[in-house]
Structure 1
Amino acid sequence: MAFNVEPLVERIGSMQCGVGESPVWHAGEQALYWTDIPDRKLWCWNFFSGQTNSWPLPEMAGCIAMAPNGWAMAMETGIFLAPPPSAGIALGPLQRLATVAHARPDMRFNDGRCDRQGRFWAGTMVLDTSLGLPLGKLYRFDADAARTGRVDAVIDDLIVPNGLAFSPDGKTMYLSDSHASRQTVWAFDYDVDTGTPHNRRVFIDMNAHPGRPDGAAVDADGCYWICGNDAGFVHRFTPAGRLDRSIAIPTSKPAMCAFGGPGLDTLFVTSIRIGDDPLSGATFAVRPGVTGLPEPVLHL
C-alpha cells in the first residue's frame, strides 16, 4: 500500500499523563481506555462526545485488558479485576486474580495484552531502569492461573519488556525489550492451543532505526506498529521485518499505540511526560490509512 500524504496527528483531551500506557479500544462503549502508570489512574475518552473521565487506582497499573465483567489490570503485586467504571463514581474494589513473586520488591508489571484466544500476557520490570537489571519476566494469565491464583513466568532475562503483540492469525507473538542496552524486537512462533511461544528470533534490531522499541500494535494487514521512544515516531514494519513507514508524533516519547474508532481506522498513541513539554504525556489520534483488529477480551 502506498502512503503519499503525511496524516494529521491530533491530540485528544487535555490530560498530561506521567506515563500513558496500554491504550485499549472498547467497541461496545466506543471509547478508548488507558492507564497512567506513575499517577495511578485509569483514563477513558469517548469517541463521539469527546468526554474524558479518570479513576484513581490503588497501585500502578502497567497494562489493562477487557474482561467480560470489567477490566483486568496487571499492577504492582499481581493481576486484578476492576468492575466496569462509571463516570463520576469511584471505582469499586478490585478483586485479586493472581499474585506474582517478584525477584525484588521494587518491581511492577509493564506492557501487556491478551492473545487472540483471550490469555492475558504481561511483563515485569525493575522500577529503576538505569540499573539495567535483567530481572523482568513475561507472564501468562490463563484459566490455570485463575484457578491457582498465581502466574508463572514463560520468558525471563528481560530488562524492560514491551511491544507485545500478536499477528492476525495469532500464530506469531512479538515482544520487545526497550532498554537502551537491548533495543530489540523478537518474533516467536506461537501455539494458539497451548499459549506457548517458541522459535525465538530477532524481528527488528531497533538500533538501526530512530527510537527505542516501546508499545506496539498489529494492523489488519499483519504489519507491526511500534512506538520509537525518544525519537517521536511510530514505525510500521511488514511481517518480514522491513520498515514500511514512520509517522512523526509531536512529542519525543510516544509510549504505546492501539487501533480504535468506529471503523478501527484510528491509531491512538499515548506518551510520557518530560520536562516542560506541554504535549508530552498527551494522547494522540491519527488515521494512517489502514485498519486494525478488534482487541481480544480476557477469556477464562
Structure 2
Amino acid sequence: MATTAELVLDARCATGESPVWSVAEQALYWADIPAGRLYRLNPSTGALKQWQAPQMLACLALNAQGDGLVAGLEDGLYHLQLPPMGDTLSAERLASVAHAAPGMRFNDGRCDRQGRFWAGTMVMDMAAGVPAGALYRHDARDAITGQLQAQLSGLLVPNGLGFSPDGRTLYLSDSHPSSQRIWAFDYDTDTGTPSRQRLFVDMQSLPGRPDGAAVDADGGYWICANDAGLVHRFTPEGRLDRSLAVPVKKPAMCAFGGADLRTLFVTSIRPSGVDLSDQPLAGGVFALQPGVAGLPEPGFQG
C-alpha cells in the first residue's frame, strides 16, 4: 500500500521512543531516552510541552486513573506526575529492579489489555552483546514487595512488545544484530503469564532490525525496521503484509492515534557522530496513514 510519511515534529530526539496516544487528551506522548525528556504534542493544535525526568526515560504507559504516567527509567518503574508549571517531572518509584549486570536500563514497555505493565531491560553498551536483559511484569502483586520479578531472562535488547486484540498473544522481539527475531507467546489474561514461546518472524533475511511495535484492530503486528527506514506489517500468521517508508534510517517505535486511531505515529533516532545530510529529519516524529485502525492503549491499573 502506497503512503507518504508526514513530518509531525522535527524533534531531533537522540532516541525518540515509546509513543503513546491519549484518547482523552487527543495528544501524543513520547520520550527521548538518553535526554530523559518527556514530550506531549496535540497534533491538531500544534501545542507542545516538554518535561525533564530524573533519569533516562525509556518507556511509558498512561495511568488508568488519569493521574500522570507510569514509566520505566534506569533503576525501576515510576509514577510520573506532570506539573502544571515548570518542566520537572515529579517521580515516585513504584518498584525497583535488580539488574543482572552494570550499565543497564529499561528499554521497550507497555501495558497488556488488562493494565499490567510489561517492560524489558538491556545493557546500554549494545556492542558488548551481553545477554543480561530481562522482561518484567508489574501489577498489584509487585506493589506489595516493591521489587520487580523477571518473567523472561537471557535477552540482549528486548523490544517490540505488543498484545493481540483479544490479549491472548504476547509479542516480543530482540533487536540486537545477532538476534533480530520476533517471538509470539500464548498469554493467560487472568494471570498475566506467557507460555509456549515460538518464533513468529526471523528478520535476519528482511530489511532492518526489529525495534518497537504496535498491533492494529485486525491483529496486524507493525514493527519499526531500524536501519532500513521502514515499518513492516505482519499478519497474525507471521506473513509480511506490507512495508511503509519513513524518511529516516532509524525508526524506533510506532503507535496508533488520531481522532479515529487510523494514524500511525513513528518516532525515530538521531545518531550522533555520523553524516545526517541524507536524513536531516532523523530524530523526528512522523505520521503514516496505513489504511487500518489501531486500538486504544490500555492504562496502567496498578
Q: Is TM more than 0.5 here?
A: yes
Q: Does the CA-based 8 Å contact 2:4-2:245 persist in structure 1?
A: no
What are the residue-to-residue correspondences of 1:80-159 with 2, within 5 Å? 80-86=78-84, 89-159=86-156
SS state of the match for residue 94, structure 1? strand
Q: 1:14 aligns with which of 1, 10, 14?
A: 10
Partner in structure 1 of residue 283 of structure 2: 281
Structure 2 alignment gaps of length 5 or more: none
Alpha-carbon deviation of 1:85? 4.6
Q: Does structure 1 retain, via aligned residues, the 8 Å contact 2:83–2:90? A: no
Aligned partner letter, 1:191: D
2:24 matched residue in structure 1: 28
> What's the CA shift for 1:53?
1.5
Q: Quick one: distance in 1 between partners of 2:244 and 2:132?
A: 33
Q: Is the 8 A contact 2:10 2:283 kept in 1?
A: no
Matched, 1:71 2:69: yes
> Match for 1:76: what amino acid?
E
Counterpart contact for 2:21–2:257, Cα < 8 Å = yes
Are 1:216 and 2:218 counterparts?
Answer: no
Deviations 1:49-95 (A, max 9, x none): 11221111110111010112110010001000011354x52334211
Deviations 1:120-173 (A, max 9, x none): 000000010000010000000111111211110000010000000000000000
| 1:202, distance to aligned residue in structure 2 (A) | 0.2
> In 1, distance between residues paired with 2:190 and 2:297?
19
TM-score when scaled to structure 1? 0.96
Alpha-carbon spacing, 1:251–1:80, altered in 2? closer, same or farther (3 Å): same
Task: Report the residue type matching 2:50 in the other structure.
Answer: S
Counterpart CA distance in 2 for 1:91 and 1:213 is: 32
State the SS of the aligned residue for 1:207: helix
Residue of structure 1 in register with 2:298 after alignment? 296
Q: CA RMSD in A?
A: 1.0
Structure 1 residue aligned with 2:253: 256
Which 4+ runs in 1 deviate beyond 6 A? Answer: none
Counterparts of 1:56 and 1:214, CA distance in 2: 24
> Using the alignment, how far apart are the partners of 1:197 and 1:210 within structure 2?
28
Gap regions ≥5 residues in structure 1 = none
Q: Is it true that 1:169 corresponds to 2:166 in the alignment? A: yes
1: CA distance, partners of 2:77 / 2:152: 17
Paired with 2:91 and 2:220, the residues of 1 have a C-alpha distance of 35
